[in-house]
């Protein structure tokens, strides 16, 4: 029988000691992780959660590596992240369009998309990987290469808009301050040629909360994307492919303002049977 492992990450804040005094308070990210873990348990995954202070780079990397060592061809890894997204200037020159690396703002530091790509390259061919990222700039976060930026994120001085909507991104001044105060650390990661984007040999499907150039909204119960995903999932009533799952979520969010349009992205070895199966099914 195939085996399934689920890693569900949700951060309602980050460590202000690393992020230049900014704690990045959010409301719905731990709820998102708990809800994804509930779905995974219902589908017989072995579940691990990393919430807020436990959501460190070391813990995330170790958990992914452990799953990669355990899972074999035909097995299933489900990875979900809810929290802030960020951007850092690309220094190993694998971002051909916008020249930014996208990041997950984990508790102790930013986790660069190139690093995530390296982690996912540990999985064997034939492993199925489903990634959900309810964070800003997340459209292709598993790949490490962003689409061209069309939204002027620099105009946002905080992660709350005029209507009081809070978004899951670190403001530009926070990102600059964080980088400047930890320049040697991030330069070492961003310049490391082993972190250059490459295609994994496992089969990966990513459904992200928004496009690379967009923002993901937080909420009181769940993130806006996760809320719509849960409505489409309907406690397991949904039956259909991953692409259809994404389409129904996207359709429910088409009128969002500012625009927040979930992305469907494939990476690694093509796996038609995986793509046509129902999400979360081991």
Active site residue ranges: 84, 136
CA gyration radius for the chain?
Answer: 17
Do the Cβ atoms of 160 and 233 come closer than 8 Å? no
Three-state SS at 12 = coil
Do the Cβ atoms of 4 and 78 come closer than 8 Å? yes
What are the start-end ranges of the H helices in the chain? Answer: 29-42, 57-70, 113-120, 172-181, 183-191, 224-233, 242-252, 272-276
User: What is the arrangement of strands in the sheet containing 76-82, beginning at the earlier edge strand?
Assistant: 46-51, 4-10, 76-82, 128-134, 203-208, 263-268
Contacts of residue 164, Cβ cutoff 8 Å, sequence gap at least 6:
none
Q: What is the C-alpha to C-alpha distance for residues 260 and 219, in angstroms, rounded to an integer?
A: 14
Q: Which two tokens stand for residue 49?
A: 């959660």
- HSE-CB for 215 with a 13 A CA cutoff: 22
Distance (Å) of CA 123 to CA 54, 77, 100, 208: 23, 9, 26, 21
Contacts of residue 237, Cβ cutoff 8 Å, sequence gap at least 6:
none
């Amino acid at each position: 029988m195939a085996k399934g492992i689920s890693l569900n990450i949700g951060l309602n804040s980050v460590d202000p000691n690393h992020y230049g005094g900014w704690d990045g308070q959010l409301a719905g990210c731990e709820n998102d992780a708990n809800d994804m873990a509930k779905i995974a348990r219902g589908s017989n995954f072995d579940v691990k959660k990393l919430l807020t202070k436990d959501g460190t780079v070391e813990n995330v990397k170790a958990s992914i590596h452990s799953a990669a060592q355990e899972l074999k061809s035909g097995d299933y890894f489900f990875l979900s992240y809810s929290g802030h997204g960020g951007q850092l200037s690309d220094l190993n020159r694998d971002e051909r369009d916008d020249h930014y690396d996208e990041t997950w703002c984990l508790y102790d530091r930013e986790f660069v998309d190139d690093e995530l790509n390296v982690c996912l390259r540990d999985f064997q061919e034939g492993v199925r990987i489903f990634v959900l990222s309810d964070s800003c700039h997340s459209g292709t976060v598993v790949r490490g290469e962003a689409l061209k930026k069309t939204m002027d994120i620099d105009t946002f001085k905080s992660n709350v808009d005029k209507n009081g909507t809070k978004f899951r991104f670190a403001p530009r001044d926070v990102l600059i301050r964080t980088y400047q105060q930890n320049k040697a650390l991030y330069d070492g990661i961003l310049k490391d040629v082993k972190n250059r984007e490459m295609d994994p040999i496992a089969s990966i499907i990513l459904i992200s909360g928004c496009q690379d150039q967009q923002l993901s909204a937080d909420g009181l119960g769940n993130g806006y994307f996760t809320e719509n995903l849960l409505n489409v999932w309907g406690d397991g009533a949904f039956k259909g492919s991953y692409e259809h799952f994404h389409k129904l979520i996207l359709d429910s969010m088409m009128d969002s303002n500012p625009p927040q349009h979930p992305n469907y992205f494939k990476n690694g070895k093509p796996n038609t049977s995986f793509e046509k199966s129902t999400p979360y099914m081991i």
